[in-house]
Each structure stands twice: as C-alpha cells, then as structure tokens.
Amino acid sequence: MGGEEVDDAGASSELARSDRQRLIASRLRQTATAAAPTHFEPMAPIDVASWLSGDAGHLHRAADLTSVPISSHRGGSGRVVVALKRTARRLLFPLLDVQTSVNWANARVVTFLLRQAAAQARTIEELERQVADLRAERER
C-alpha cells in the first residue's frame, strides 16, 4: 500500500508539472501574440530617408568615440577636469578604438538593411501591381 501512495503522489506531481507547463506555454503564446505586429506595411522610400536621418543617422553620427569633444562646464577647475578626461581617454584608447569599429560596423549593417528593406518594398509593390493587372485582364 505504501507503494501506491508514492505512485499517487508521483502521478499528482506529474499532473501538476504538466498543468504548469501548459500554463507557461499558454502565457508565452499570449505574450507572443500581443507583442507580434498584426500586419506589416511596406516601407516607403521617404520612411527610409527619415530612418537614415533619425535613429540610423544617429548611429553614424555617434559611432566614433575617439573624436568626442572633451570639455568642462566648471569654472576654474575646468582645465584640470579636461586634462583628467584626456588622460582617461588616452588610457582607454584601445577599448574606444574597438568599440568605434563595432559602432561603425553596426551603422553600416543598419543602413544596408534599411536600403534592402526599401528595395524589397518597391519590388513587392511592383509585384502587387502586376497581380492586380493580371486579375483585371482575367476578369475582362
């Protein structure tokens, strides 16, 4: 009889684990559904230009960490602070140089992907026009 109690306990824990897994899976599906876009709008070329002047443009403008101007808003102690900042930059140069190269690579990739997305959007629009023309021809 003792073995039966263990089996019942094992079965109930297995059932509870199964219920938890189903609940977790259900919550993951709900979250994914809520986070997923409902539809994709084709990007107009003007949107790409706004991206390149906005967020993607910021990647280009802020990529080079080694050329950031060093200044201080402090009055008399400003020169000392600027000297300390320049010394820190010289000490960190290898890290800043590596990060700058990574930043430039990211900027180039984002720009490439935006241009590819715009080209794909133009191709999709052209294909949609061709399909519409073929449907109109078929209906005549």
Give residue-wise pLDDT tens across range 48-67. 777 777 778 888 788 887 87
pLDDT recorded at residue 9: 60
Looking at the 3D structure of the chain, how many domains does it have? 2
* CB-based contact 51:114 (threshold 8 Å): yes
* CB-based contact 112:48 (threshold 8 Å): no
- Do 83 and 51 belong together in one domain? yes
Q: What parts of the chain have a pLDDT lower than 70? A: 1-12, 33, 35-46
Structural domain of 58: 42-139
pLDDT recorded at residue 133: 94
- Do 26 and 59 belong together in one domain? no
Two structure tokens written together for 117: 């997305």
- Do 69 and 17 belong together in one domain? no
Answer yes or no: pTM beyond 0.75: no
- Do 130 and 84 belong together in one domain? yes
Residue 62's contacts (CB-CB under 8 Å, 6 or more residues apart) are 103
- Do 18 and 78 belong together in one domain? no
